[in-house]
Structure 1
Amino acid sequence: MNDARPRKRSLTLHGHRTSVSLEDAFWVAFVEMARAEDLSVNALAMRIDSNRGVSAGLASAIRVAVLRHAQASGRG
């Protein structure tokens, strides 16, 4: 998990395949967030996607959601 370069990750949103480019640290935290909320990664991505509006890309919205989750958990 030492690589700071984003990597493409595949997701399925509303029955369609898509990809997001996330750094390893954000991906790991995103997966942990999904587990903590008892959701699949795809279900959490759909929720974030539905709430993000049009001004933010999905990867950015995921990063912000991960940061807010960490802050709410006292880890950020």
Structure 2
Amino acid sequence: LGFLKTPRGAGFQFAGADIDDPKTLGEGAGIGLRKEDTDLKAKIDAAIAGMLKDGTYRKLEKKYFAFDVYGG
């Protein structure tokens, strides 16, 4: 990923295999919130929608991840 490809990432590596168990982890990525945090959820949803619309999300995803985090 991004950090590992930089000079600061020299000497670091992943330990073990990727964890990919849909039965345990579900599909995709997630953020844990309390059910009563509806205002916070709405703000997060709006922020992500804005980032998807203006291209910021893809720019950050490309920089930090080697896969499609959003699944789109």
Determine which structure has the larger strand proportion and give its number. 1
- The TM-score, its normalising length taken from structure 1, stands at 0.27
Higher RCO, 1 vs 2 (CA within 8 Å, ≥6 residues apart):
2
Q: Larger Cα Rg: Structure 1 or Structure 2?
A: 2
